[in-house]
Amino acid sequence: GAVVSQHPSRVICKSGTSVKIECRSLDFQATTMFWYRQFPKQSLMLMATSNEGSKATYEQGVEKDKFLINHASLTLSTLTVTSAHPEDSSFYICSARDHTVIDNEQFFGPGTRLTVL
Amino acid sequence: AQSVAQPEDQVNVAEGNPLTVKCTYSVSGNPYLFWYVQYPNRGLQFLLKYITGDNLVKGSYGFEAEFNKSQTSFHLKKPSALVSDSALYFCAGKPSGTYKYIFGTGTRLKVLA
């Protein structure tokens, strides 16, 4: 149980285009999902907390107009990188929390590698 | 500021020997502490967590961790390392009253055959 999927696993796009990454909780409902960014050989940086049915909460320094987050259902959150530039190239990981289980840990997706040319 | 520290960028250990990956924390309240493992180009896999109770926590794949409040540490251990344990290990803490994790910088474990 507690599987989180991400799609696509990797994407290459041209500078200036927008890219959408999906994060799904497959066998549980998640009122809260998290989006992280990981640079090579570095730790995970929390970008935003995605709340079902409401606006995402962004961490300091993360541009909300550039990284659009939508959490329309209890099993799906999407991250759209708008007008992508090469500096947006990174490994993006989502996680989800099963809100029905107290003290539960976050379950992580397999990640999406974004390369912007 | 709250933080989780992993003082070693890399740990090398011979196969069959015991391994320790260090983690110390500065997290408010009664923190929840976690260990995750990451293989190349993959997401994080949960290994174990400490919430309350016994200081020694047993997790997946033979790993365990000891919560030490006085030393604010949560070191990951395994009695006998396998080559397949070679990966990137992250320690994370969750302060009371929030769902956010604070991650350490990661420790790369290399188990040598």
SS3 A63: coil
DSSP-based helix, strand, coil % in chain A, nearest 5: 5, 50, 45
Span B54-71, average pLDDT: 94
Tokens coding B64: 């365990």
Best mutation target among A59, A102, A106, A112 (most B Cβ atoms within 10 Å) is A106
Query: Is the backbone peptide bond immediately before A8 cis, with ω within 30 degrees of 0?
Result: yes
Contact B43/A109, CB-based, under 8 Å? yes
Contact A105/B49, CB-based, under 8 Å? yes
More confident residue, A93 or B30: A93
Q: Say how far apart CA A117 and CA A96 lie, in whole Å.
A: 30
Check CB contact of B41 with chain A, cutoff 8 Å: yes
Is residue B20's pLDDT more than 90?
Answer: yes
Positive/negative CA dihedral, B56, B59, B63, B65? negative
Query: What's the confidence (pLDDT) of residue A1?
Result: 61
Query: What's the confidence (pLDDT) of residue B74?
Result: 97
Position B15 confidence tier, pLDDT thresholds 50, 70, 90 = very high
Query: What's the confidence (pLDDT) of residue B43?
Result: 83
DSSP conformation letters of B39-80: -TT--EEEEEEE-SS-SEEE-GGG-EEEEETTTTEEEEEESS
Span B56-81, average pLDDT: 96
Query: What's the confidence (pLDDT) of residue A53?
Result: 84
Check CB contact of A103 with chain B, cutoff 8 Å: yes
Q: Among the residues of chain A, which ranges form H helices?
A: none
Position B99 confidence tier, pLDDT thresholds 50, 70, 90 = confident
More confident residue, B60 or A41: B60
Check CB contact of B49 with chain A, cutoff 8 Å: yes
Contact A42/B100, CB-based, under 8 Å? no
Q: Which residue of B has its CA nearest to A91?
A: B41
Q: What is the mean pLDDT of each run of 10 residues along chain A (117 residues)?
A: 89 96 92 90 88 90 94 92 95 89 82 95
Report in angstroms the alpha-carbon separations of A74 from A8, A9, A29, A41. Answer: 20, 21, 5, 32
For residue A111, the chain B residues in CB contact (below 8 A) are: 41-43
